[in-house]
Structure 1
Amino acid sequence: MFVNILTEKIQSSWRNSKKITQPSLKACRAVGFVKSTCNNLDGKGKVAFTAAATSASSTWNSGTLVFNVVISNVGNGYNKSTGVFTAPFPGTYVFYVSANEYSAQGLGLDIVLNNVPKARLLASNSASNQTGTNVVVLVLQKGDKVWVNHFHGKGFWTQTVSLTTFTGFRI
């Protein structure tokens, strides 16, 4: 009962002020919440983004795939000019990529951490508009960089409401 009342007080403090007071943080820790959970109650450390490619290319065949439209960018880690996510905080992150190949040309992409490929997605060239997806969980240090890099094929397809996206968030 006490834990429920205290939890409600902490949550109420968050909802009402968007800033947890020091006594509430101490109380959060005192009832057994993990320290990082209590620290995140003040809104610091939240990171999440989704970026989209909104213009198709029939010829793209090297380098970083730049997702030029930011749908959300909590924590400002994603750079839409370079296509690179830079971790603003250390922690465990999840990254997901979905991409459509262009007109049966095939497409292979890598999710890259600091120049090291960590996961690969493939969209077959057996028919037009095949989709490749993959997800990876990575432990990052502040300043680590993650991006999507060309591995195979040529071109990617998308529409105004994007079919080709890059998402990441801290858990």
Structure 2
Amino acid sequence: MTSTSTPRPLSPAAPVRPFKVGAYGFVFLGLGHLALSAVTASAARTPEQDAADRAMRESTFALFGLERTTLDVTNGMSVAMALFNIACGLLLLTAVRRAPALVEQRTAFGWIALAASLAALATALLLLPVPPIAVLTVTSCAFALSLRRAAARTAPTARAAAGA
């Protein structure tokens, strides 16, 4: 007995849903990072952590007339990147809400989101602990699925145009 199944057509929002998952993943990653930073800053410190902080406070450098400690730069970059992650995710969500065709038609918009997510994932794999690796894996897969679904939607249209 053989059964044939006709593929069910994808709904117009099919590429948008995974794209939103990726964008929310960016927001979640930034908020999670800020929350973890706050918890870590208020937690009891080990003697090793105190020694590392002390060494980072004693290591200073000047750039363009501003003197900063290594600890200042590390903390500042950490918070700034978390805020940029949140902003990026919110901008992606706002754009796709206002102009879903950016995702539905497989434009550079979706490719840029995927490229940013993959670059961040590669960095995380080399330098970061498991939580950002897990979140960035989800965001990368979500953006890739969005692009795949957009291609599946536009392929029949492209074939019909070529045949006409």
Specify the TM-score bucket, using the shorter chain as the normaliser.
under 0.3
TM-score, normalised with respect to structure 1: 0.25
TM-score, normalised with respect to structure 2: 0.26
Question: Highest relative contact order (Cα 8 Å, sep 6+), 1 or 2?
Answer: 2
Q: Which has the higher strand share?
A: 1
